[in-house]
Amino acid sequence: MAVIEANSELLRFATAGSVDDGKSTLIGRLLYDSKQVLTDQMTHVEEVSERRGDGFVNLALLTDGLRAEREQGITIDVAYRYFQTPRRKFIIADTPGHEQYTRNMVTGASTADLSLKLLDARAGVVEQSKRHAYIASLLRIPHVVVCVNKMDLVDWDQGVYERIVGEFSDFAAPLGIENLTFIPISALEGDNVVDRSTHTPWYTGPSLLDHLEGVEITRGLDHADARFPVQWVIQPSAARAPDYRGYAGRVAGGALAPGDEVVVLPSGRRTRVAAIDSLEGELDTAFAPMSVTVRLEDDVDVSRGDMICGAGDPPTAVRELTADVCWMAEAPLHAGARYAVKHTTRTARAVVDEVMSKVDIHTLESGEAEQLALNDIGRVRLRTSAPLVADPYARNRTTGSFILIDEATNDTVGAGMVLDAA
């Protein structure tokens, strides 16, 4: 086994596919072929395969988590898997494919650098593949990889593959996905998963694993300008460190350095960064997604929920915003409803002024709507009880996102992406 470097990069990807497209098999295969499956896990899989009468070692069982799922034989919730190669560590958010689980797909996609979709070569592009691609684009995942699976069942026919690539590319074109890649595979037999297959001489691209190891991890626009939501004020007892006042948080965009001019929002006070502290001492710079502690030159009033921003192009503090919302609760969202909104480190109350439109999940077209039901995605106008310091989601996935919380049940009921803050 290759030596694993402590300094490899981290790539998070989300998987999606309709039931039976072979997602569990593919993930099992990636883990197995990259030698992440350990003896006792494999023994377990062999035992269960035999008990179920699968007739072969069912790698899909490797990724099968909870009891209820094992009983039903389907994946029902987001599960996280890990594997590592000498170049990268991977976190997989494995999301189930059923129609009613749009919320899980959105959850998995929210932190992903890459989205991996599976299609069954025999079925081609189905309605659900379109929905997956739409969600990947809505959540601004920079890379989308489409694996055309079960190529062994269509005799490795290049024509079948090309038709699927063409059809998928056509409908995905208007979605504006930054980097769309196709790979013909057999998850069951491992073709083009880790190693290039001899069955596809007509395919010149990389294997799936080569692609995953090679794609650029774009933090992209997140680096445009400094964004530092304050999580916690460090003000130690006199015995530990008298007169110390530092603002602890995680850089959400851009970079900060001592001497930088900053503006604290929503107050609008300007000052400079005096120092950036870490347990190891002062740092020359802090960039996304580092967790650090910032000290400011002037004694301005800063607390949790405030955002320290680069003075160059700060966001605006707003109390009204337009956003795309994925609805995750049984009780629908409608105009007039009130929720708690959590945005960066700030929580406020929000009232829905208007449901502007809803996306028809079948045609992906927007139409008028009165409300958003479970798993609907639509556009709403919100008014908040306190100003939010927000960027458009298209510019920054951290400062442009929020969740809605039902204050009666404490449930997270909506995932929001800011379109326009004004």
Partner 1 sequence: MDTSTQPTLTHLRALEAEAIHVFREVAAELERPVLLFSGGKDSIVLLRLAEKAFRPGGFPFPVMHVDTGHNFPEVIEFRDRRVAELGERMIVASVQESIDKGRAVEEKGPRASRNRLQTVTLLDAITEHGFDAAFGGARRDEERARAKERIFSFRDDFGQWDPKAQRPELWSLYNGRIRRGEHVRVFPLSNWTELDVWQYIDEEGLEVPSIYFAHDREVFERDGMLYATSPYMELIDGETPFNASVRYRTVGDMSCTGGVRSGAATLSEVVAEIAVTRITERGETRADDRVTEAAMEDRKREGYF
Ligand X SMILES: Nc1nc2c(ncn2[C@@H]2O[C@H](COP(=O)(O)OP(=O)(O)O)[C@@H](O)[C@H]2O)c(=O)[nH]1
Binding site for ligand X (CB under 6 A): 17, 19-25, 60, 149-150, 152-153, 186-188
Q: Could you tell me the two tokens for 337?
A: 């409803």
Alpha-carbon distance values, 31 to 28, 61, 152, 194 (Å): 5, 12, 21, 10
Distance from C-alpha of 161 to C-alpha of 275, rounded to nearest angstrom: 56
Which residues lie across from 12 on neighbouring strands? 91
Answer with the entry of ligand X, partner 1, none that 78 interacts with (C-beta below 5 to 8 A by kind): partner 1
To ligand X, the closest distance from the beta carbon of 73 in angstroms equals 8
Question: Does 289 engage in binding with partner 1 (CB under 8 A)?
Answer: yes
Amino acid at 348: A
Residues 92-121 that bind partner 1 (CB under 8 A): 103-104, 106-107, 110-111
To ligand X, the closest distance from the beta carbon of 110 in angstroms equals 21
Residues 222-281 that bind partner 1 (CB under 8 A): 223-224, 231-232, 234-237, 240-241, 244, 246, 248-250, 254-255, 278-279
Answer with the entry of partner 1, ligand X, none that 1 interacts with (C-beta below 5 to 8 A by kind): partner 1
Answer with the entry of ligand X, partner 1, none that 17 interacts with (C-beta below 5 to 8 A by kind): ligand X
Question: Does 368 engage in binding with partner 1 (CB under 8 A)?
Answer: no
Binds partner 1 by CB under 8 A, chosen from 275, 290, 300, 373: 290
Beta pairing, strands 114-120 & 143-149: parallel
Distance from C-alpha of 340 to C-alpha of 326, rounded to nearest angstrom: 15
Distance from C-alpha of 323 to C-alpha of 421, rounded to nearest angstrom: 9
To partner 1, the closest distance from the beta carbon of 224 in angstroms equals 8
Distance from C-alpha of 34 to C-alpha of 57, rounded to nearest angstrom: 17
Q: Of 41-49, 115-123, 152-160, 161-169, which segment contacts partner 1 by CB under 8 A?
A: 41-49
Answer with the entry of partner 1, ligand X, none that 25 interacts with (C-beta below 5 to 8 A by kind): ligand X
Q: Cα torsion for 361, 363, 367, 371, to the nearest 10°?
A: -20
To partner 1, the closest distance from the beta carbon of 323 in angstroms equals 13
Binds partner 1 by CB under 8 A, chosen from 121, 221, 318, 377: 221
Question: Does 57 engage in binding with partner 1 (CB under 8 A)?
Answer: no
By CB under 8 A, how many residues form the interface with partner 1?
82
3-state helix, strand, coil in the chain (%, to 5): 20, 35, 40
Alpha-carbon distance values, 414 to 76, 301, 374 (Å): 19, 32, 9
